[in-house]
Amino acid sequence: MSILVDENTKLLVQGITGSEGSFHTKRCMAYGTRVVAGVTPGKGGTSFDGVPVFNEVERAVKETGANASMIFVPPAFAADAILEAADAGIPLVVCITDGIPTLDMVTVLSYLERKSISLIGPNCPGVISPGKCMVGLMPGDIHMPGSVGVVSRSGTLTYEAVAQLTEQGIGQSTCIGVGGDPLIGTTFVDVLKLFEKDAETRLVVLIGEIGGTAEQDAAEFIKGMTKHVVAFVSGSTAPPGRRMGHAGAIITGSSGTAAEKIEALRSAGATIASSPAEIGLVARKVFRT
């Protein structure tokens, strides 16, 4: 099993003809993802590597049965792209776009409260269920099918954790980068709920970072989980008030520090990896006990 995406996923790509969209669409297709449609306004009726391109998402969904969307649309238009996918009834939207204005995301998240949709991102690497489907820009070759779920705010640390797990001979059920912006669609808690219900996932690796209270919220949920969680929080040496990489990685109070987050996760029962280099080793010890 897996969560969010699998071999039955039919992917639509919004912005398929742009440089980033076309590059990563080809990589998803090479991995085995079923890309059934693309959407670029003004280019309807054309095709991309055999994939039909449409002007509107609604028509693309009606004609192809797409049930997931990957968005590679410039920041100024990305919010509208998310809303268009939601209005077309697509249950899973993965928005890769970075730099979407915060006010735009306030509008999007308010609108999505009335919709049955899972939004991953924005500013995220996407989702992969190894051996089944990749929606995003992960390096597919480092993944291996298995029973460890991975969820992270950091794309790069997601790849690092996965590479270490695979090196230890531990496969992954699904790996999700939820995104590093202050306002995102799917949270740690949302993903943890899915992993908790997934019969195949035996262990969860959670990778947090400074800023916000997402890790503390996750810790509260972890207290009631039946599955063990290995956690790493980056940014222990980050100075307060300075953004570190992601728009959401800025310490604005004591709750945003790495130390506060680590303590909350440890108190909730998670096993803490003290450095990114130890994620795989710690996961192996927990996984095999």
CATH number, domain with residue 212: 3.40.50.261
Q: Which residues contact 274 (CB under 8 A, 6 or more apart)?
A: none
With a cut of 70, say whether residue 248 has pLDDT above it: no
Q: What would the pLDDT profile of 54-73 be if each residue is shown by its tens digit?
A: 999 999 999 999 999 999 99
Weakest-pLDDT range from 180-184, 214-218, 255-259, 285-289: 255-259
| CATH number of the structural domain spanning residue 33 | 3.40.50.720
Are both 177 and 100 inside the same structural domain? no
Helix axes 75-87, 57-64, angle to 10 degrees: 40
Positive or negative CA dihedral for 109, 174, 233, 227? positive
Are both 103 and 243 inside the same structural domain? no
- Per the structure, the complete domain to which residue 157 belongs is given by 139-287
* Measured distance CA(168)–CA(171) in Å, rounded: 9
Domain-located, residue 50: yes
Q: What would the pLDDT profile of 85-97 be if each residue is shown by its tens digit?
A: 999 999 999 999 9
Domain-located, residue 128: no
Final residue belonging to a domain, choices 88, 120, 152? 120
* Measured distance CA(258)–CA(163) in Å, rounded: 23
Question: How many separate domains does the chain show?
Answer: 2
Domain-located, residue 177: yes
Are both 93 and 205 inside the same structural domain? no
Are both 23 and 154 inside the same structural domain? no
With a cut of 80, say whether residue 50 has pLDDT above it: yes
| Residues noted as catalytic | 246
CB 265 within 8 A of CB 200: no
Largest CA distance in the chain: 56
Q: What is the pLDDT of residue 249?
A: 45
- Does 174 or 241 have the greater pLDDT score? 174
Q: What is the pLDDT of residue 155?
A: 87
In the block, tokens 């306030």 appear at: 106
Are both 51 and 164 inside the same structural domain? no
What would you report as the CA-atom Rg of the chain, rounded to the nearest whole angstrom?
18
Q: What is the pLDDT of residue 246?
A: 47
Final residue belonging to a domain, choices 120, 148, 164? 120
Q: How far is CA 209 from CA 51, 126, 182, 225, in A?
A: 38, 18, 12, 21
Asked if the bond preceding 52 is cis, omega within 30° of 0, the reply is no
Are both 173 and 111 inside the same structural domain? no
Are both 174 and 104 inside the same structural domain? no
Q: What is the pLDDT of residue 244?
A: 47
Q: What is the pLDDT of residue 180?
A: 86
Q: What is the pLDDT of residue 287?
A: 87
Domain-located, residue 133: no
Q: What would the pLDDT profile of 96-134 be if each residue is shown by its tens digit?
A: 999 999 999 999 999 999 999 999 999 999 999 999 999
pTM: predicted TM-score of the whole model, two decimal places: 0.93
Q: How far is CA 11 from CA 8, 35, 39, 84, 92, in A?
A: 10, 5, 11, 15, 9
Domain-located, residue 67: yes
